[in-house]
Structure 1
């Protein structure tokens, strides 16, 4: 057996877990905290520090490879798993997952995931467990086969070694103006996220949001280097639907109005509305996409909430209920499912965005880079954290190192051939 022991270590996520329902209901910010009572089960306050649990696989040569189990910022919202409980996750991993790990053939990543993530009493394991353990299993396969994690994915999914970089998307958090400047100076491919998660930030009839969109476009021209032309991507956390109403035609009209304010830019609008269920989300997002396409709009709809697991992603992709699907890695679970999800989007000619959360860790971010590059996703999130510098360097540097290794591998194979 290639795995001879399992280690667990408590850790921190790079941001905070937030009670989205309480924030949507008007919770007031006081400095960095939110004032008021939480409303989502499991939250003892509206904002709490993100936690994680690292799982280490001790290989027979005594190398230890790690993965990080963690949930997303808005846990318990939009059909997602409940708030991360360190003790519960550690106990379940020790009792159920660890014995399974000792029995797998760690050379075979996808087979190992299938074995280890078998349901328990007809219930799927917490997705945070799948996420962290699959990171460790991917690193184990890469170590044992003397390959990069990306090469393991390419081999097991029958993909060619990639040659192109994947565009990187940064998120601003609440320090919008300062972080937008950072993104522009660093020539980020896709920006700025914006964190438009309250009525105050969206404004009456969306006026505050529209002014921000115009400012970002103007600032890009003002301080960006010559020829810099990023994609503008704004996450509005359902506020178009909350403020304008849930009629797809009205939502599409508003989005077109925003796109008209920034001619020449591709505009991504993430989570324009929350229709309350996955099926309602699929049906109504498909109508919004159709309206925008018929108008020839430069705006693109990005789905996040209600599109969590691989099966959810399949529903949205096959219905073309988005121009771009966020494959939110901790919500998808196994990294094998994330790779499958990207390929599923490509089959259905829908954009694939390998996202995730600010609550993640350096290890989970680096593993996500390998999935993104191997499958040639349309873009990937700079993570973890809500700052620009750290996340952009972690994801960007890992991508550059990976592409350098893959170029060397290609040259070696060419010489042998």
Structure 2
């Protein structure tokens, strides 16, 4: 028995859980809060502090390895799991999962996940449970085998030790202008997200959004060092479809016009529209992708809403219904499934972006770095929180430390060979 005890510790997420339905319906902001009645089940107000639950695995040498459970900012939207309830998740973990943990070989990461995450009464465990426990199991395997978490992923999925860094994408939150400046000064690879989640931020016909895109490009040229050419990535939360309609041709026309307004920049548009179901999203996104590709546009669309689990990602990737998938780690569940999702995207010629949420923690962010680097994702999110500095340092420093350790390991292997 390699796991001899399990600890649970309630904690905080790094931002807030927000009721997306209420915000999209026109809830107004008063300072930091939203005013109005919530519209999504489980929300007692539109914005509530994010909570988390830490799970600590006590190993036979008394080392404790941790993972953190939480849900994403917009819980209960777009087919996602409902709002995170610490007490309910704690009770379920204690009742169902703890006994399973005592029976696994913790040095075998994928096998441990498979055994721990069996359905309960024919229903899948909450994805937050899978997410937090898989982080702890990944750390347990790394500790027991004296390797990095990335090396565990490489060994489990038969991957070469990575040599290249993964580009980092930062999100601005509502402090757009200040945070864009921070990103440019820090030469972030992909920026700025923008949080275009309301009609006010998108503007009539998209004019407010287009002005912001042009401002970001101009600001980048003004403040950035010579040769700095980040990817411009904007999450519009379905507002292209909401504002100009759900016809794929019109959506593609609008996206092309945005790309043409910022020549020289690669442009990512995340969640241009929400068509109401996974299948409708796949069908219509495939049409938008085809139109953009046939035009030779520099713009790429990124799927988020309606593409949550590994099976969802498989459907989008195989249908070529996106240029880039956001693999939103708490929505995918097990970290093993995040690795599988990246590899699945690569097999189908679709970009893989290991994302997540501002509601996460330092532990989940660091584990995500190891999976991202091991699988050589196309980009990864700087998380947690909505501030640039903390998230960029957590993810960037973890990546740099990891690559230094992998380079040393590679040199040791070459000397032995």
2:234 matched to which residue of 1? Answer: 234
SS at match of 2:40: coil
Query: 1:6-405 to 2 correspondence within 5 Å?
Result: 6-405=6-405
- The alpha-carbon deviation at position 23 of structure 1 amounts to 0.1
Distance 1:223 1:115 in 2: 51
Partner secondary structure for residue 301 of structure 1: strand
Distance 1:263 1:322 in 2: 22
Where 2:344 maps in the other structure, the secondary structure is helix
CA distance in 2, matches of 1:216, 1:402: 31
Q: What is the aligned partner in structure 2 of residue 406 from structure 1?
A: 406
Query: Equivalent residue for 2:4?
Result: 4
Q: How far did 1:62 drift?
A: 0.1
1:129 deviation in Å?
Answer: 0.2
Shift of 1:116: 0.1
> After TM superposition, what 4+ stretches of structure 1 lie above 4 angstroms from structure 2?
none
Gaps of 5+ in 1: none
Cα distance in 2 for partners of 1:321, 1:123 equals 28
Instruction: Report the 3-state secondary structure (helix = DSSP H, G, I; strand = E; otherwise coil) of the residue aligned with 1:226.
Output: coil
Tell me how far apart the structure 2 counterparts of residues 18 and 320 of structure 1 sit (CA, whole Å). Answer: 31
**Cα separation, 2, equivalents of 1:396 and 1:379:** 12
Partner secondary structure for residue 326 of structure 1: strand
Give secondary structure in 2 for the equivalent of 1:313. helix
What CA distance in whole angstroms lies between the structure 2 residues aligned with 1:181 and 1:106? 44
TM-score for the superposition, normalised by structure 2: 1.00
CA deviation vs aligned residue, 1:135-170 (integer Å, no higher than 9, x gap): 000000000000000000000000000000000000
Whole-Å Cα distance in 1 between the matches of residues 289 and 167 of structure 2? Answer: 23
The size of the alignment, in residue pairs, is 417
User: After superposition, what is the alpha-carbon deviation per residue over 1:251-281, rounded to whole angstroms, capped at 9, x for unaligned?
Assistant: 0000000001000100000000000000000
Q: In structure 2, what is the Cα distance between the partners aligned to 1:296 and 1:244?
A: 22
Q: CA deviation at 1:180?
A: 0.1
Q: Structure 2: any 5+ residue segments left out of the alignment?
A: none
Q: Alpha-carbon deviation of 1:45?
A: 0.1
In the TM superposition, what whole-angstrom CA distance separates every residue of 1:6-31 from its partner, at most 9, and x where no partner exists? 00000000000000000000000000
SS in 2 for 1:208: helix
The DSSP-based 3-state class of the residue aligned with 1:44 is coil
CA-CA distance at 1:70 after TM superposition: 0.5
Shift of residue 290, structure 1, vs aligned partner: 0.2
Deviation at 1:396, TM superposition (A): 0.1
